[in-house]
């Protein structure tokens, strides 16, 4: 068997978290008198960490260090109590994880979401699914597309990078996999487009979560 494990992105890959992210950020924007955005607009804002999300959501004339820091702290508070209001696993994800477990394929998660929220979401939405390791960004673990986080997972799982598939829904995810020497697989059910995934090096394109299983057989 060539592939021995799968590392998953979180938002837009395992879970549809778009509305909770959009609602939380819009609440912060309203609080400070800034215009809000439709939920679909946040598809382009997420994926590169919370600071980038806040920067993209703010008007250009407010994208300075003071406003970004203030709104980031406010978003952490707001999202920290609303992160599971509407967020759910995508259809087919639980089935896929069950199949991978039966196939003895290792599973792990690396997200640009901060570490403690990544772990809380996984624990609450996937209580019966085992993952070898779940990591989010934080001190010592730079955000994707830096490969340090996924390479740490490779070391933890004792699986060489070339034997791991990284599944994600964005350019950042495909770049991360390539930077680490892993196999990039694009989740077409997520937030970004097929064209973005292809142009950033996706080796596999998955229309549905269960499309991953035959690749691993």
Q: What is the pLDDT of residues 166-196, one digit of tens each?
A: 999 999 999 999 999 999 999 999 999 999 9
What is the number of structural domains in the chain?
A: 2
**What are the φ and ψ backbone dihedral angles of 44, each rounded to 5 degrees?**
-85, -15
Last residue of a domain, one of 36, 62, 82: 82
Residues 94 and 180 in one domain: yes
pTM assigned to the model: 0.96
Report residue 64's pLDDT band, with 50, 70 and 90 as the boundaries.
Answer: very high
85-107 tens-digit pLDDT: 999 999 999 999 999 999 999 99
Among residues 51, 66, 82, which one ends one of the domains? 82
User: Is there a single domain that holds both residue 75 and residue 124?
Assistant: no
Q: Would you state the pLDDT for residue 1?
A: 56
Q: Which two tokens stand for residue 79?
A: 């999202």
What is the CATH classification number for the domain harbouring 22?
1.10.150
The whole-angstrom separation of Cα 111 and Cα 91 is 20
Same domain, yes or no, for 91 and 190? Answer: yes
Q: Are strands 183-187 and 15-16 parallel, antiparallel or unpaired?
A: unpaired
Q: Please report, for the domain that includes residue 111, its CATH number.
A: 3.40.50.1000
User: What is the rounded CA–CA span in Å between residue 73 and residue 68?
Assistant: 9
Place of tokens 């590169």: 48
Domain residues for the domain of 52 are 18-82
Q: Which residues pair with 5 in a beta bridge?
A: 106, 164
The reply to whether 94 and 147 lie within a common domain is: yes
End-to-end CA distance of the chain: 7
Structure confidence at residue 116 (pLDDT): 94
Is the domain of 60 the same as that of 164? no
Looking at the structure, tell me whether residues 91 and 35 fall in a common domain. no
- 101 shares its domain with 159: yes
CB atoms within 10 A of CB 34: 17
Together in a domain, 154 and 47: no
Average pLDDT over residues 109-129: 96
Residue 210 structure tokens? 């269960």
Taking a C-beta distance cutoff of 8 angstroms, is the pair 70, 15 a contact? no
Instruction: Calculate the CA dihedral of residues 79, 83, 85, 91 and round it to 10 degrees.
Output: 140
Q: Which tokens sit at 42?
A: 């946040």
Which of 32, 63, 82 is the last residue in one of the domains?
82
Task: State the Cα–Cα distance between residues 137 and 115, nearest whole angstrom.
Answer: 5
Q: Looking at the structure, do residues 98 and 191 belong to the same domain, yes or no?
A: yes
Same domain, 125 and 172: yes
The vertex-171 CA angle with 168 and 173, nearest 5°, equals 35
Query: Could you tell me if 102 and 204 lie in one domain?
Result: yes
Average pLDDT, the chain: 96
Strand partners, 16: 88
Domain identity same for 34 and 103: no
């Amino acid at each position: 068997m060539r592939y021995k494990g799968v590392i998953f992105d979180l938002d837009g890959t395992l879970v549809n978290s778009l509305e909770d992210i959009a609602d939380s950020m819009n609440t912060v924007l309203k609080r400070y008198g800034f215009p809000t955005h439709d939920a679909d607009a946040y598809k382009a804002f997420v994926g590169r960490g919370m600071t980038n999300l806040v920067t993209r959501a703010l008007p250009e004339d407010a994208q300075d260090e003071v406003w970004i820091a203030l709104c980031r702290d406010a978003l952490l508070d707001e999202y920290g109590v609303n992160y599971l209001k509407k967020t759910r696993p995508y259809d087919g994800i639980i089935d896929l994880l069950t199949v991978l477990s039966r196939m003895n394929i290792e599973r792990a998660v690396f997200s640009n979401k901060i570490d403690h929220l990544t772990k809380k979401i996984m624990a609450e939405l996937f209580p019966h699914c085992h993952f070898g390791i779940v990591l989010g960004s934080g001190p010592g673990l730079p955000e994707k597309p830096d490969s340090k986080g996924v390479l740490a997972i490779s070391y933890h799982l004792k699986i060489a990078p070339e034997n791991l598939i990284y599944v994600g829904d964005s350019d950042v995810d495909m770049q991360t996999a390539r930077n680490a020497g892993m196999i990039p697989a694009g989740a077409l059910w997520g937030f970004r487009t097929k064209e973005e995934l292809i142009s950033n090096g996706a080796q596999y394109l998955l229309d549905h979560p269960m499309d991953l299983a035959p690749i691993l057989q």
